[in-house]
Structures are given as C-alpha cells and as structure tokens.
Structure 1
C-alpha cells in the first residue's frame, strides 16, 4: 500500500482524493483499491502528523503482483525521456494518446479520454506527465495503469489551468467538440467515438456526484466548490 498523508497547505486532501476516486469509479474509470484511515493508526509518524481526527489515504499498489513481485511501470515523463521537473513541459495530452494508440490499443485510448474528461469536469489541474503510467504485466506489452492522483485541485488554486494542453486548450471551464477534434487530429486517432465518450463520462460524473456519500467527508466550502465545477462543466458536454 501507499499512504498519502494530509497536506500542511490544503484542507482535506486525502478526503478529496478518496471521494474523487470513488466518483471516478462510478464514471466507469478503473481505479485501485483504496481506503481512508486515521493518521493515529499509522505507526512511525511523528506526533505532529497524527493530530486527532486527521485522515490519510491508503492506496493499494498496482505495480505489485499478489505475491509482492514488482511489475514494471513507466510514467509518461519516463516514456518521453523527460526529467521529473519537466512534467508540465513540452508534451500534450495528444502526445500521450498517440503513444497509447500505438502501444496499448483503442480501449486504452478510450480509458485515457474518460480520465481526461473526468479530470476537467472535477477541476483537476494537476494531471501532468507523471500522473499517467504504463504497466507491463507480461513484461512485454504495455497497458494503461489504473487511474491515480484524482484530486479536485481548483478549489485550492482558483483560476488554475490544465497541466498540459488538451486540444489546444488548458481551460477547466468547458470541453468542446472542436477541442476534441483538435485533440484527435494531433494524436492521429479516430475522432468519431471520442465525443460520445466525453458526453457519457460527464453525465456519469454529474450523476455520480449527486449520490456520492464520500462527499459528506469534505468541508462544506470545498464540497460546494467541487459541485459548482462539476455542474458547470458537465453542462457544456452535450
């Protein structure tokens, strides 16, 4: 398991990611097993990191087999030969899609588009190159890893923009058919199924939010901000 501790800067980040992972699952996205735990139950933490009532997010590692053997994994900064500090530079989401189309196939691209649309809808500005990865379960052919680092970041950094260009835009306010066509053209992949995937993902995200029990774990202002973002963007994807 990987344990993500509370942020010293932003409120309820583990709860935020916990809720967004469940919302992603309801939108049809593959996510790893995860659970919210109290920091007091984590051994080895200093006292200042174990404040009463604080939560951490535990995520089951998907780069390990059942027996603990490692599975080779590459994030897209590694795929493109870029240093971690350059994870916001030089590439676009179309570049990632092009690699997936060539190496992992049509369904991997469809899943990538679901996650990309979902990230815009929830206001996740931080889906940089290191937040997309390939796994090699058979040590030869890559597959897209489960989704991770789904956090609604816009409430923390208002007016932020996407980490990379999506069809020539970094806007978190809308997704348009022209934008999706531009994305497909740049990736050199068929455009025809992509808008349908976008519409379905946006609708499932908005519907899933309405009944998302995990949202009750969030502070009221954070919950309200995420809701405004979801409803605003989902309304543009029709």
Structure 2
C-alpha cells in the first residue's frame, strides 16, 4: 500500500452506478465490465491501451487499471512519475471546456497539434484510428481530458495510451437512451456541416475528415478496411479474456452493436476516395 508521496501503480475504478438525467436514467452499474471489454477490444484492434483486470471481493467489483504514467527505475526499487498532461492542459484551457461543444479542441485542432509530436505519423494515425473505434463501440465521452501526452526532454511530446473508454450501448433502451441520442464528443466533417450522431456516421465522414485535416486518404481508407476485416476476430479474441462471471448484457450490447456499422456499410474500396 502506497504511503505518503509514494506513487501508485494502479487506478482502482468502482462501478459508476446510475446517473439521473432530465429525460433518462443511465444505468452504469456494470461500468467495470463495460470498460474492461472496451479496453480488450481496443487492444485486439491494435490500439495501445493500459492493462486492466477485474477484481472481485465479497462486497465490491472493481477495475484495476495499470498506470501508464509510471516507470520503474533502479532495478525495480524506485517508481517514477514520467511527466504527462492531458489535452486541456496542453491547449491551456480549463476542464470546463473539455468538450468540443463547449469550446474545446476537436479532431482538426488535435491533429494539427500532433504534427509537433516526436512520433507525428504514428500518433496522427493512431488518433484517427481511435476515432473510428469510438464510433464502433459507442464511446461518447472522448473529450480533451481523455487524451494525454507524454512530455519528453527538449520540449517534445507524444501521445500516451488511450484510456477511460466506456460504451454507451449498454444503456440503450428502457429508461436509458435511444440510439439517436448517442453522439461522439468530436464531430466529423460532412457535406453539410458536421456529424456527431453515431447512427448517422458512415465511413465517408471519416474520409472527409481525414481530407480536412491533411491526413492521407489512402491511410484513412486502410484503417477503415482494417476494422472491417478484423472486428469479428477481435471480438472473439476479446471474449477469451473475459472472466467467467462477465456481464452477458454488456457483452451482447457492445459486440452486437459494433458490428452493425461495419457490415451494414458497402465494401470499402478506393472508390470512397473519389
């Protein structure tokens, strides 16, 4: 157990519980299983995310997430805190502006900022890939505080692993939300205006966004094709990592919803670049 200023190695996340909204009640009592599955799916689809483990006691179920902002030194005797900051800090804005709708950075601003990364090509590709992943799993809370940077010597920086991924699909129906209510935190470019509604987004919107932020269309297309070809395998691989008592509701809500946009879309070809 850490004492005083000793750094922690894990974040212990308890169930979020129910969130009352004016027109809905969001049942996130199974948020532990939800986040565990989202992290597993992201990992299987090639995104860098923290390791996580579901821990269960007679009184509580929790998620133990390995901290990526820690590093062992002196042969494992000293635990260091490598400097890092979230994108609100990087952009010099308050947490109250973390959402694009509240004046925070969107995809264009972040992609421009990542041009200065020490691994700009990789970070920009990973960020666009994560935008697609959020769409597939219904992760609607991808605001600026949920993206961070490692601060490196000489003033350089690069993206940290992705984190805090929760799907909204398990809260659909009943007293919860309707699919039409689900919106991404950062909008995509469209012929007219911008798209945030998950059920109104198609691959062409990612390609239009890529063009707008000077990200190669061929690479964006390759990312979309990769998802279309690997989602079923990723789902099966993630299934094998689940504990025996994993929530059936969470599993079905996320995996059955995430295949819909992939397989309801015409086969992705270079004609999308026209």
Unpaired segments ≥5 residues, structure 1: 41-51
Whether the 8 Å CA contact 2:13–2:32 is kept in 1: the answer is: yes
Whether the 8 Å CA contact 1:12–1:218 is kept in 2: the answer is: no
Q: How far did residue 195 of structure 1 move? A: 1.6
TM-score normalised by L of structure 2 = 0.75
Q: How do 1:92-131 and structure 2 match up within 5 A?
A: 92-103=106-117, 104-131=119-146
Structure with the bigger RCO (C-alpha within 8 Å, sep 6+) is 1
| Count of aligned pairs | 226
Q: Tell me what 2:63 maps to.
A: 57
2:198 and 2:246 mapped to 1: Cα distance? Answer: 21
Q: How do 1:2-21 and structure 2 match up within 5 A?
A: 2-9=11-18, 10-21=28-39
* SS of 1:189 mapped into structure 2: coil
Go from structure 1 to structure 2 and tell me whether the alpha carbon gap of 1:97 and 1:78 turns closer, same or farther (over 3 Å shift). Answer: same
Whether the 8 Å CA contact 2:33–2:247 is kept in 1: the answer is: no
1:204 and 1:140 mapped to 2: Cα distance? Answer: 37
The answer to whether the aligner puts 1:182 opposite 2:208 as a matched pair is: yes
Q: Tell me what 1:37 maps to.
A: 55
Q: Tell me what 1:209 maps to.
A: 235
The answer to whether the aligner puts 1:234 opposite 2:262 as a matched pair is: yes
Say what the alpha-carbon RMSD is for the aligned residues: 2.2
TM-score normalised by L of structure 1 = 0.85
Go from structure 1 to structure 2 and tell me whether the alpha carbon gap of 1:101 and 1:71 turns closer, same or farther (over 3 Å shift). Answer: same
Whether the 8 Å CA contact 1:4–1:58 is kept in 2: the answer is: yes
Q: How far did residue 115 of structure 1 move? A: 1.4
User: Whose radius of gyration is greater, 1 or 2?
Assistant: 2
Q: Which has the higher strand share?
A: 2
Q: How far did residue 203 of structure 1 move? A: 3.2
